[in-house]
Structures are given as structure tokens and as C-alpha cells.
Amino acid sequence: MVDRLLRLCTCAVLFAALAAPVRAQSPDRDWSDVLARARGQTVHWNAWAGDEKTNAFIAWVGAEVERRHGVKVVHVKLKDTAEAVQRVVAEKAAGRDGGGSVDLVWINGPNFLAMKEQKLLYGPYAERLPNWRYVDTVRKRSNLIDFTIPHEGYESPWRMAQIVFVHDSKRVRDTPKSVVELAAWARAHPGRFTHPSVRNFLGATFLKQALAELAPDPSVLQRPATDAAFAATTAPLWAWYDGLKPALWRGGTQFPENGPAQRQLMNDGEIDILISFNPSEAAVSASAGLLPDSVRTFVFARGTIGNTSFVAIPYNASAKEGAMVVADFLLEPATQARAQDHRQMGNFTVLDPAKLAPEDRRRFDELPRHPALPSLAELGTTLLEPHPSWMTRITAEWERRYTH
Amino acid sequence: MFAVGAFALPIAAGVAGTLAPAFGFLPAIGGHALTLDPWRELVRWPGFVSSVTLTIATGVAATLLSLIVALAFAAWACARPWGARASAWIAPVLATPHSAFAIGLAFVIAPSGWIVRAVSPWLTGFDVPPDVATVGHPSGAALVLALMMKEVPYLVLMIAGASAQVPVRESLAIARSLGYRAADAWFATVLPRIWRQIRLPVCAVLAFSLSVVDVALILGPSHPPTLAVQAIRWFADPDVRSWFPAAAAATLQLAIVVAAIALLLGVERVAARLGLARIEHGRRDGAGGTVAAAGATFLALLVALAGASIAGMALWSFASQWRYPDAWPSGLSTEGWMRRLDGLASPFATTLAVGAVAVAVSLALVLACLEFEQRRAKRGPPPGLALLYVPLLVPQVAFLFGAQVLLVRTGWDGALVAVVWAHVIFVLPYLFLSLADPWRALDPRYARAAASLGAGPWRVFWRVKLPILAKPVAIACAVAFAVSVGQYLPTLFAGNGRVPTLTTEAVTLSSGADRRVIGAYAVLQALLPLAAYLAAASLPERHRPRRRGSRS
């Protein structure tokens, strides 16, 4: 009951926050001002660069935005989003409150929370974007609530992510339906499964997925973790992991650094099942020659964790208007349809098809198909991300238990 | 020596900027009081003991093994006329950045890598790759191997340079007439005399191996990693409080390097005693010959691995698909290169520009130093010259963080100028080391003859010295350019991540991206310095250095 009340309050606050600026000024004139000021600006978009398809998409976005709005985009390639956070922190430390080096950052979860808490973000700006009206805020609640934290317009969504598992159908016949079955499969096929390093968001999310299934009371995951709740809730997780670890690739002593490294292992024939945050991973990678054509996708019966990727603008960005133009372009139906095309990037849209004009809806209906591409129905239930404090604690606890 | 000071000072400031937060002082992120908390946090980190052990073990092993192999090879080569030419063969290895080799080696030695592919499944029966660790093995063996691939050739060239200044042929001839075989003779008569000159390069190798970041990122264990990598991880943590343990780790890294160098100097005395005892004993058992042959074999193996590493990456860059257990890609095409040309162009241009400017600036400073030294006349090398070696001995992590704060404060971070400056710090010492010997060895009679014909010092410099020394200058520039191309951490810190070069891009991608893309970056990374080296090496030789000994 308290929980529901709390959630209602959050929603009310959120709506107030969303409504206020719209009422305050005429949105169209406001936006044409933004466009005018954006022209000629250069946006340094700090984005994790470990995926060539995404890099190519970002390059395409840059070309389009420059052509249409005269805004130049420079992709600052990161190994880890934290690098961008660190840069803004360093600039604030040095007293550089304007003319900062980061204009736009691909972000979510703990990095977002860190920047928001330290007041390193510009905004709220998301609801000022003309294309915000198409965003699905009802069924895709992660578009508003980032790892249980309402983003209050300090970031704008650009693509959906949901945990899926990719397997080589030539080598894996019966796909596991839960983390418990997955551990059993791994024990029956020692060394043929691994997960990305727990320091990597995908590795941490794998543990969160297991926690969501194994926790005695999953609802506590939506609140900040306390010492008592953490011990009780994660006890079954560690018991499960102790049973899984020896059966992992390299006996659980080594882990791929990130998702693409894990994919390379599958392409090298070292593992048979991989975890991905992109439901189109199998289709995208098979078409690109990065995985065998025999790969297929599966999810768990009780659902898998999903979240939204956002873009945020640091408080000291030099090209705030240009950054907003890019954020808005990312929400355009045509851009979103291209992003979802598995030949391009293959990330499911953050938009609500029902809100789109018929010709825009058709863009999504007419996207090419692929045998490894799951339908929305096959993707099943999306589980919500736990509060970021769980991820931080799980990562620390995992390091404590398994680092020697 | 103003130039030298200008580069030593920022390093001192950088080290100070790292030391302060190591003891809790960094007001910008709320550290106002001096405290040992960062150290407590560092020591409480679960991987602390393993990480420090790993750091010391890999750094010391890489240095000792490299030194042994290099010395053994030198002893082996001294008696063979084409041994000297072998040095020319390994020079291209020297020009290729560490990270390019590391990336290639990761593919060659992986359980699903090239070596296993070549013999599977027909010979090994491995339908799937064996589940054993090579890359990232907790022992750090792969890291040691990759470091040796670069450090052995470097030491071999340093030894060759030092040998040119002692009468090697005569020494060997006398020792052999006393019944020593060639290798034994070399160990007994040449090594003691060149040690003083290769001591500093060995210290540089030790400092580098203990604190290397890019190679350790690619090939080292990650759980826990070496201390330098862990420091970088903490610096990159979204929680800025991690900077405190990061600074502590960087400071500890510095302490480890200082202690290791001190230890090396201690071991040197013991080794000298033992060696002297052996020489006095007059043993002529030919043991040196066995060591020398083993060293030469090992070097050949390292060069072969180096070649395979780059060839493997070149092949990957043209592969359409290349799956285990195929020993060869299932298809080759230039399509990948065409598609990636746009992405490659900008880091390529940046690498070229930064390298060229850094080398030009360094060359001007080095030539100024050398001219100044000669015009001071017979007073020997000017004081303060030792400071030049500071960048080669201080671990990069120990001062780059402090330097970055400095750059951000002055607003220079992320500027191309800052990156060039950071590169000059590392390019300058190498340029100086490569150029000082040929410059000092130039027969002074050329200059005297020109002066007697009425040429002033500047005219002698431009019209006599430079043209005669054109080739050594060009080769020194090529070496310096290779150093610039290979810089990872300085580019990352000074460029604030916004000045991507081939090396930073390749290392970033090496964490898991498509190997076909990584291959393209690694190949360009290797080709660029190689092209510079070949261009320099193709210049005609115009001087005969004044030599006291033979060149063998």
C-alpha cells in the first residue's frame, strides 16, 4: 500500500514536472529558437564505442543532423560511460561551469544517478523536444523511470534494451527457461557458458536477472538496498552462483570484458550461449558475419530485465541547443525505425506505435525480418531494473566473494 | 638545459598532483584533510595482494627474461658476420607499437587462436577450442611474452649501440686466443664493459614493464589486473571518491618502480661479483655458447610471433568470416576496408599530425642541446641531462592524473597542443638517445675544416653536420615517431579522450569489438611507423662514424 502510494506520488511529481514548462511557453516558438541557436554548433557526443553497428548509426545521425540542422556531431568514443562522467566531474572541480567538453552523453542507471545527484546535468529538457509526444510512457515505463529513479526530464530516451540469450541452435537443443535451468545446462556442458565481467553493466545485469528470479521477495529490489534486506535477498543468489561458477568458461576465473568480447568468444567457438541486451543481437550479428547463421534467441519464462538507453546533457555543455536537436532527432519515427532495422543497429524503439501517424507506423511494420529475430510476443515480459544501489552492492559483494 | 627542465617540471607537478590525493587532499572533490584513508581503501581492496604480486612478478620477469635473451643473442651474434645484420631485421619490430603486437598476439596464442586453428581438429582432435587460459592467464604469462616481443629487440639494439664504442673484435680475438669460445669470450670481455651503457635502458625496460597499461589491458589478467590497470579503472569510476584509492595505487606504483630499480642496482653488484669470480676462475666450458644459442632461438621465436601477430591482424582486416577451426579466413575481400575508410581516416590523420609535430619540436630541442654541448667545448655533457630520462623511469599513471588536473585548470585539456606536449615528453628522450651517439661520434675534422674555410658555427651546422648526419637524424626521427604513434595513456589523459589516435582507438576496440575492425587499426598502427622507418633506412649513408672498436 505504502509502495503504491509512493509510486502515485512519484507519478504526480513527474507529471507536474513534465507539464510545467509546456504551459510556461509556447513550445513551437521555443523550439525554433533552439534550432536557430543550434545551427553551427558542434556536439561532442560521448558514447560507448564498443559496437561497430552503433558507431555507424551514430555517424549516420551526425551526417543527417548536419545536413538538416547545421549541427555537427563528433562521436567521442568511450570504453566506459564513466569516462565521460569523470570528465565532467574534473571540469566542475576545475571550475569550468561553461564551455565544457561533453555536450551529450549516452547514459542510464548508476551513471545517470551519479550525475543527477551531483547536479552535473542540464535540464529538464526531454519534454521540450517536439518528438517527445511519440514516446511510450505507459507500457515502456523505463522511458520515464531509469533504474527506479524518475529522470524528471534530465535525459531523453533513444533505444530499448532487454536481456535476451543467444544460442547456437546447432549445439544447444533445449534452451533453459530460467536461471536455475541455465545453471543446470552449464553444469551439463562445463566451460561452454560465461557472462561478461561483473564490472561491465551487462555482467552486472546478468546477476540482477538471477536476483530478480531468485529473491524471496522481488519487490524489495525497487527500493534502495539496506544491509538487512541485501543479506536476506541475495543469499539464494550466491548459493546459485556458487553452483554455477565452476561450470563457467575457464572455470569462472576469467570473464570477457563486455558484450562484444563475449560475442567474439561465441564466434571463436569457445562458448555456446551468450547474454545480450539487444533483442536483435542474433539477427544483427549473424547478418554482419559476427556469429554463425545458426544462432537463435531465447528468453526466460518469467521474463527478463529491460531498460532504456538515454542521452543526457551535462550542465556545462558548450552546445546545449545542438545536443537537444540531436536528442530530438533520435526520437523521430524515421530515425527510430532505422535504429530498429536489424541491418542497421537492431534496437527496439522507445516510441508508442499507437501514437504514430499511419505512414510512420508502416515504417516499423515493413522492417525486414530474420529467423533469429524474436517477435515482441516472443520477448515476453519485461522486468524492471532494480534500484541502482542493488547493482553497486551486488558488484562489490561479487568482487569480495570471488576476487582472491 | 632549459628544454629539459621544461619537461621535467610538469612531471614533478604531475607527481605532486597524484601524491596529494593519495593522502586524501583534493579539495575539488571534497578532500580537505591529510589522511591515510586512500591507503586503507587500497589495502582493503580484495585483489590488493594478488595485484601487487602480479605487477611485480610480470614486470621483473619481463625485464629479466628480456635482458637474458638480448645478452645471449648479442653473445651469439658477435661471432657471426650476419649477426650484425640481424639487428637490422629486428628494427621493424621496434617501430611497431606495443599495443599492435598485443592485439595480434591475443589472437595468435588464444585457445581458439591461430596456432591451435592451424593444427585442429586434424591433429589435436579439438572440435571445440580447449577450455584453458592463455590470454589473460592469472600468471600474466601472455603479458610477459608480449612485453618481451618489444623489449628484447630494444635491448639488442641498445647493446649493439654500446658495443660500437668498445673494441669488440680485438677483445674477442684475445680471449679466443686464450682458449675461450666466442660466446664465452663475449660474456667475459665485452659485457662488463658495455653494462654501464645499457644499465639505463634496462632500468627503462623495468619501469615500463612494471607499469604498462595498454598491453596489460589487452593481455593481462583482469581479475584482479595489474596495479596500473586497477589505478586506471578507479580513475575512470563514476564515483569520484574512487580517485583517492586510484591516486594511492598510482603512488604505490611509483614506489614499486623505485624499489625495483634500487633492487636491480643491488643485484647488479652481486652479479658482477659472481661474474668476476667466474672469469677469474677461467672456466672455458662453453656454457656461454649454450646460453647464446638458446637466446638466439628464443629471439627468432619472438620475431616469428611478432610477424604472425601482425600478419594475423592483416588477414583479419581482409576477412569476411573466419571461424574456429579454420586456419584461413573463409573469404577475403577489401569491402571491410572500403566501409571503414571514413572511420579510419581521422585517427590516421591525427596520429600522423601529432607524431610529426612532436618529432619536429623534439628534434629542434635535441639538436639545440647537442650543439650547445659541442660549443661548450671540452666540458663533457652538460649537467641536468639525466633529467631527460625521468619520463622513461617514472610510471605514466603516477603523473598523468596530476598532469590532467593541471591541464583542465589551464583549459588546455583535449587540445591537440596538449597531446603534442604529452608526446614530446616521451619522444624527446628517445630522440636524444638515438641521436646523441652519432652526433657526438661525427669526426670533428669536418667541422674544423669548414671553420678553417671561414664558415661560422651556424653555417657548419646547416651545411656540414646536418647533411652528413642526414641518415642518423632521419632514423632517430623514425624511432621517435614510432614512440609517438604508440602512446596510449598520455594521449588519453592529455587529449581528455577527445583526440583519438590509431592507438587509442585500437586499444578501445580491443576490449571486444569485431576483430576485422581491430585488425584494420592494428595494421595501420604497425604500418605507419614502419613506413617512416623504411623511408629513413633507405637514405644513403653519408658518414663514417669515428670508431674506436669494430662494429660487430
**pLDDT score at A26:** 54
- DSSP class per residue in A64-80: HHHHHH--EEEEEEESS
Among residues of chain A, what percentage have pLDDT more than 90?
Answer: 75
Beta-carbon separation of A82 and B409 below 8 A: no
Distances (CA, A) of B194 to B75, B187, B188, B290: 12, 10, 11, 21
* Highest-confidence segment of A53-57, A90-94, A244-248: A244-248
Grid cell listed for A233: 535477498
Residue A91: list chain B partners with CB under 8 A.
408
Radius of gyration, CA atoms only, chain A: 21
The amino acid present at B499, given as its one-letter code, is V
SS in 3 state form for A246-264? HHCHHHHCCCCCCHHHHHH
Residue A3 pLDDT > 50: no
Under 8 Å between Cβ of A126 and A137: no
Residue A249: list chain B partners with CB under 8 A.
131
Helical ranges in B78-140 per DSSP H: 83-95, 98-109, 114-118
Beta-carbon separation of B512 and A86 below 8 A: no
Tell me the torsion sign for CA atoms A317, A321, A326, A332.
Answer: positive
Give the number of C-alpha atoms closer than 13 A to the C-alpha of residue B208, restricted to the C-beta side: 27
Kindly report the nearest CA distance between residue B323 and chain A, in angstroms.
6
Please identify which residue in the block is written with the cell numbers 526530464: A153
Best A87, A268, A294 residue to mutate vs chain B (most B CBs within 10 Å): A268
**DSSP code of B28?**
G
- Environment class of B284 (CB within 10 Å of its CB; exposed 0-12, middle 13-18, buried 19+): middle
Confidence bin at A12 (pLDDT 50/70/90): very low
**pLDDT score at B550:** 39
Q: Which of B223, B238, B321 sits opposite A85 (nearest CB)?
A: B238
Under 8 Å between Cβ of B163 and B194: yes
**pLDDT score at B285:** 78
Q: What is the mean pLDDT of chain A?
A: 90
Size of chain B in residues? 552
Tell me the torsion sign for CA atoms B508, B514, B520, B523.
Answer: positive
pLDDT digits (tens, 9 = 90+) for A293-335: 999 999 999 999 999 999 999 999 999 999 999 999 999 999 9
Provide the number of CB pairs (under 8 Å) joining chain A to chain B: 147
Distances (CA, A) of B431 to A367, A401, B474, B484: 57, 48, 10, 11
Domain ranges of chain A: 21-157+307-372, 162-305+383-402
Beta-carbon separation of A270 and B404 below 8 A: no
Beta-carbon separation of A86 and B237 below 8 A: yes
CA distance A130 to A108: 22
**DSSP code of B412?**
-
Nearest chain A residue to B26, by CA: A93
Under 8 Å between Cβ of B208 and B173: no
Distances (CA, A) of B61 to B205, B392, B470, B494: 11, 19, 38, 31
CA distance B288 to B68: 12
Q: Which CATH class is domain A162-305+383-402?
A: alpha beta
Best B54, B223, B242 residue to mutate vs chain A (most A CBs within 10 Å): B223
For chain B, the first-to-last Cα distance in angstroms comes to: 34
CA distance A88 to A104: 11
Beta-carbon separation of A52 and B517 below 8 A: yes
Residue B235: list chain A partners with CB under 8 A.
86
Under 8 Å between Cβ of B216 and B253: no
Beta-carbon separation of A101 and B237 below 8 A: no
CA distance B357 to B25: 36
Judge whether A21-157+307-372 and A162-305+383-402 match in fold: yes
Under 8 Å between Cβ of B450 and B459: yes
pLDDT digits (tens, 9 = 90+) for A33-65: 999 999 999 999 999 987 888 999 999 999 999
Domain ranges of chain B: 2-29+37-537
Query: What does residue B500 show for φ and ψ, rounded to 5 degrees?
Result: -70, 130
Under 8 Å between Cβ of A197 and B222: yes
Q: What is the CATH number of domain B2-29+37-537?
A: 1.10.3720.10
CA distance A178 to A153: 35
Radius of gyration, CA atoms only, chain B: 24
**pLDDT score at A77:** 86
Beta-carbon separation of A110 and B413 below 8 A: no
Beta-carbon separation of A253 and B408 below 8 A: no
CA distance B104 to B106: 5
CATH fold of A21-157+307-372 reads D-Maltodextrin-Binding Protein; domain 2 (3.40.190)
- DSSP class per residue in B239-262: SGGGHHHHHHHHHHHHHHHHHHHH
For chain A, the first-to-last Cα distance in angstroms comes to: 44
Under 8 Å between Cβ of B369 and B432: yes
Beta-carbon separation of A190 and B131 below 8 A: yes
**DSSP code of B411?**
T
Helix axes A320-330, A27-38, angle to 10 degrees: 110
User: Bridge partners of A351?
Assistant: A135
**pLDDT score at B551:** 37
CA distance B408 to A100: 10
Residue B517: list chain A partners with CB under 8 A.
52
Residue A6 pLDDT > 90: no
Give the number of C-alpha atoms closer than 13 A to the C-alpha of residue B453, restricted to the C-beta side: 10
Measured from the Cβ of residue B272, the count of other Cβ atoms closer than 10 Å reads 12
- pLDDT per residue, tens digit, chain B (552 aa), is 556 666 777 788 889 888 999 999 887 777 888 899 999 999 999 999 999 999 999 999 999 999 999 999 999 988 787 766 777 778 788 889 999 999 999 999 999 999 999 998 999 889 999 999 999 899 999 999 999 999 999 999 889 888 878 888 899 999 989 988 888 999 999 999 999 889 989 999 999 999 999 999 999 998 899 999 999 989 877 677 888 999 999 999 999 999 999 999 999 999 999 988 988 888 787 788 899 999 999 999 999 999 999 999 999 999 988 999 999 999 999 988 998 888 899 999 999 999 999 999 999 999 988 888 887 765 566 666 777 788 888 999 988 888 887 777 777 777 889 999 999 989 998 899 889 888 888 888 998 999 999 998 889 999 999 999 999 999 899 989 999 999 999 998 888 777 899 999 999 888 777 899 999 999 999 999 999 999 998 888 776 555 444 333
In terms of Cα–Cα distance, which of B488, B480, B479, B368 is closest to B424?
B480
Tell me the pTM. Answer: 0.85
- In this structure, the strands spanning A295-298 and A164-168 are antiparallel
Q: Which of A86, A115, A258 sits opposite B512 (nearest CB)?
A: A258
pLDDT digits (tens, 9 = 90+) for A72-85: 999 998 878 888 98
Tell me the torsion sign for CA atoms B55, B56, B58, B64.
Answer: positive
A255-273 b/e (C-beta count within 10 Å ≥ 16 → b) = bbbbbbbbbbbbbbbbbbb
In terms of Cα–Cα distance, which of B446, B441, B503, B433 is closest to B475?
B433
Residue A83: list chain B partners with CB under 8 A.
236, 497
A134-172 b/e (C-beta count within 10 Å ≥ 16 → b) = bbbbeebebbbbbbbbebbbbbbbbbbbbbbbbbbbeeb
